[in-house]
Structure 1
Amino acid sequence: MSGFKMTRGLFIVTCIAGAGLAGCGPASEREPGDEATGTAQQGLTEGAPLTAHDASCLSMQDQNTWSTYASYMTPVGPALGLSAVLKDLNRVGPMLTATTHPPAVGYKGGFRWNDGDMGTTEWIPQALTAGVSGTANVAIASWHYAPTTSPEKGVRISVADISDMSLSAVNYRHILLVRPTSSGNFTVVPEHGGGLAWVGNYLYMADTSDGVRVFDLTQIRAVDTSTTCETAIGHVGSVWCAYGYRYVLPQVSAYVMPSALTTPCRAKFSFLGKDTRGTTPVLLSGEYCNNNDTPCNYDGSASGLGGRLYRWPLDATTSRLVATGGVVKPERAYIMNEPNVQGVAPIMTSTSTTSYWLSSTRYSGALFKVSTSASRTAYLSGSGQWAKMPEGMHATGSGTNLWTVTEGVSGVTNPATGGRVVFFADQASLD
């Protein structure tokens, strides 16, 4: 860190005076098929192949609160873990049918939320990840709290048992995310919740401005659900509250960008994914950009095409990001050449780590198949090829299914025409 601070002025001047997104350090090594690095060699064009990007100036610091935050939660009660929650699912999401599912190429199945969750304006679905707990296949979706006049409730997740999609409904439960603040106390996590990735026992969540927060699924705890707790958070008298939620999932640490990092070296963490195709598993992170309020002007224009996709190496044993002296660096980065990207998943039918699915709200909803070697393939909601307002995604390890969650069109509760859904499609049909 001291070295960076000493040369910060030179770093930033060089970067801005150069070619917009061309990075602040030496060019990264390329994989076969990578295109030219940065915008000095190749202009940004919507639908163009992924452009390799020099991310050598970007880093995150492990906040290293793993043991401290865990100890703070001890007085709250025993750690129950995800398995306990799966035995206590209290909501029912009807399966989608031939007449209620949204149009999507390769559609195979899915479910909607219950009536209250389909229509609420307080909570908005954002991210999706999936994994296995015991013998259960589980989907986890995030929701961010929308009202500006109410107390901030932060982010909640929905844990859904998707083990048998031939049933009439999926059972699920909401859990509130919290951050420990002191021994026996915690508060909400005031973030957008735009990205999730389930790695080992950890749930990674995108922290838009700062990096990535990490939650431990083995540390889920039950709290009080009395009337008092419906409007309170943390330790209240002799009980612990979470705005009426029965369970809380505590943060254990975070990976945060140094405050000295500025645009364009500083990244946004809008969405997350996980890629296990290479020799080392990686956490994927990406930036949402558009041509209106979030243009990513550091690309030299207001086109919204400058969003970048990063690959962060994971330690397969610890399920944490690979760190040297507490510092983590991306192993590779790309400029996506796509606006309004909301989610990413690896194309698991390919062994190449240079191809991805991108979920986008461009054209009111789209799925893009992208790589470093070819222009995109697009599946558009306006052409009846994909759902409206898609957000986070998850690709099964076998390469069979591609899952996604939709935010929902404002005011629409019909799942066939834009209401909130979780569904999966056959990757072979999309390929």
Structure 2
Amino acid sequence: MTVGGLVLTATTLIGPSSAAAAGPTTLPASQFTLTSNYHQFDTVLNSLVSTLGTAAVHTVMDNANHDRVGITDSLGLAGYEGGFRFDSGDNGDCTNYPQGVTTSRDAIGTANSGNYDGHQLVVVSWYTKDGCDGGGTRSRVTLVDWDATYPNKYRKVLLVEPTGTAATPNFKDIPIHAGGVSWYGDYLYVAETGRGMRVFDMRKILKTNTGGTAAQIGRQSSGVYYAHNYAYVLPQIGTVTAATTSGTSLVWSTISLDRVSRSIVMTEYTCASGCTAYPNRAPRAVRFPFAAGVTTFASTTTASQALQLPWYKLNGVASHNGRWWFASSGAKQLYYWTPAAGASTYSWVGGAESISYWEDTTNPDLLWSLQETLGHRNVFVVQQASYDG
């Protein structure tokens, strides 16, 4: 079988657990709100665009300079359809970790085979540490061609925050965990653990200079702009900030787009007990609807659904047509739930991260996910029907 230009081999299929899982319980959705600002950086960003110029997505992909390769691990997943892993440098890099996943089908749906600017793309968010055991220093996204029409290539794009003034525009690194990413229309939403989401516009990828040192970022005294030797940067355009009256702030572990209900869903990474870097309490999942007829949030948005979950160490969430999926990296399980049918538990991969729902008009709908595990950074896809209870 061939998907996205890759030849797939059979794997061992693993079905649902015989043990029924406890289900989520409903929380008051009105406790959770968002405040959005899509024009936060307009003045400086317009100057950056004028100074540096933009690169369309198809231009970035025409200059893709890394090779994606086939998955060599036996993932043992029911409904396995294939996928890819990153090149050897990224697969074994202990300073960079893949986290979120979204696709051009999130962005535009099934029209024109889900192509954005002529390309069917899988987008993965990453965070960078200052050493193998260091703290976070910056974040990026990887744009990957998933279309047999094009080479099996990908390109890294640095995420940056505009700084400076209209007269001397600049940008700086965004040192966030980038735990989840969702692409809707032209906008890319990236989860920020303690705040909500940062917003980027895929029409405003900036061209920068290469040839500087790996440490150089932003405008230099010569007027040249470097970005750790990235040729392209994606500047933040705004922020979506979360608030709650529940007394406990949301910890934004990951996000996913629900195209059917036109909303973004999020969930938290928490522990039952014993964690020091994460909360020790039950996690929550919350749905926030977009404004009517657009791919942006209103200036103020109230959640339309909120759940308390019985599962822990969640790095992945997805929702579609009233159904929910939650991936636990700690339990190596995927949980499926609907209010009517209850919950089911499936075996899943280790090092699991985010989930993205892939709609298809002629073939089975799919779930994309990925592993952050060093040496096993597989971005894979399974048939959704194998995980629907």
CA distance in structure 1 between the partners assigned to 2:56 and 2:26 by the alignment: 40
CA distance in structure 2 between the partners assigned to 1:152 and 1:362 by the alignment: 22
Partner of 2:295: 319
Matched, 1:141 2:121: no
Partner of 1:361: 329
CA distance in structure 2 between the partners assigned to 1:295 and 1:101 by the alignment: 32
Q: Deviations over 1:174-204 (max 9, x none)?
A: 1100010123200011110001000000000
Partner of 1:61: 35
SS at match of 1:47: coil
- 1:195-344 matched pairs, under 5 angstroms: 195-228=180-213, 230-236=214-220, 237-257=222-242, 264-278=247-261, 281-291=262-272, 292-293=274-275, 302=280, 304=281, 306-315=282-291, 317-321=293-297, 323=298, 326-344=299-317
CA distance in structure 2 between the partners assigned to 1:164 and 1:235 by the alignment: 38
CA shift for structure 1 position 294:
6.0
SS at match of 1:83: helix
Partner of 2:371: 406
Q: Deviations over 1:72-120 (max 9, x none)?
A: 42244112132211111100011125xx342211111111110010111
Partner of 1:429: 386
Of the three residues 48, 51, 61, the one matched with 1:86 is 61
Q: Deviations over 1:17-42 (max 9, x none)?
A: xxxxxxxxxxxxxxxxxxxxxxxxxx
Q: Deviations over 1:212-260 (max 9, x none)?
A: 11001100011111134x21111012211111111100100001135xx
CA distance in structure 1 between the partners assigned to 2:124 and 2:352 by the alignment: 13
Structure 1 residues 71, 111: closer, same or farther in 2, change over 3 A? same
Are the aligned partners of 2:49 and 2:204 in contact in 1 as well (CA < 8 Å)? no
CA shift for structure 1 position 151:
9.1
- Could you tell me which runs of 5 or more consecutive residues in structure 1 were left unpaired when the two chains were aligned: 1-45, 381-385, 414-418
Are the aligned partners of 2:130 and 2:137 in contact in 1 as well (CA < 8 Å)? no
Matched, 1:50 2:24: yes
Identity of aligned residues (%): 27
One-letter amino acid matched to 1:140:
V
CA distance in structure 1 between the partners assigned to 2:305 and 2:340 by the alignment: 16
SS at match of 1:74: helix
- Could you tell me which runs of 5 or more consecutive residues in structure 2 were left unpaired when the two chains were aligned: 1-19, 105-114
Structure 1 residues 139, 69: closer, same or farther in 2, change over 3 A? farther
One-letter amino acid matched to 1:396:
W
Of the three residues 391, 401, 410, the one matched with 2:353 is 391
Are the aligned partners of 2:49 and 2:206 in contact in 1 as well (CA < 8 Å)? no
Are the aligned partners of 2:31 and 2:245 in contact in 1 as well (CA < 8 Å)? no
Are the aligned partners of 1:289 and 1:295 in contact in 2 as well (CA < 8 Å)? no
CA shift for structure 1 position 293:
1.8
Partner of 1:13: none
If the length of structure 1 is used for normalisation, what is the TM-score?
Answer: 0.75
* Count of matched residue pairs: 349
Structure 1 residues 296, 373: closer, same or farther in 2, change over 3 A? farther
Q: Deviations over 1:341-361 (max 9, x none)?
A: 1111224xxx3x2x2111211
Q: Deviations over 1:246-287 (max 9, x none)?
A: 1100100001135xx576342121111011223xx0011111
SS at match of 2:203: helix
Are the aligned partners of 1:50 and 1:371 in contact in 2 as well (CA < 8 Å)? no
Partner of 1:372: 339
Partner of 2:111: none
Task: Give the number of the structure whose alpha-carbon radius of gyration is greater.
Answer: 1
One-letter amino acid matched to 2:98:
P
CA distance in structure 1 between the partners assigned to 2:349 and 2:67 by the alignment: 22
Matched, 1:107 2:74: no
Are the aligned partners of 1:79 and 1:220 in contact in 2 as well (CA < 8 Å)? yes
If the length of structure 2 is used for normalisation, what is the TM-score?
Answer: 0.83
Q: Deviations over 1:141-191 (max 9, x none)?
A: 0111123587964111110001139x9x73101110001012320001111
Structure 1 residues 346, 215: closer, same or farther in 2, change over 3 A? same
SS at match of 2:31: coil
One-letter amino acid matched to 1:70:
L
CA distance in structure 2 between the partners assigned to 1:345 and 1:293 by the alignment: 25
Structure 1 residues 428, 265: closer, same or farther in 2, change over 3 A? same
Higher helix share: 1
Are the aligned partners of 2:57 and 2:117 in contact in 1 as well (CA < 8 Å)? no
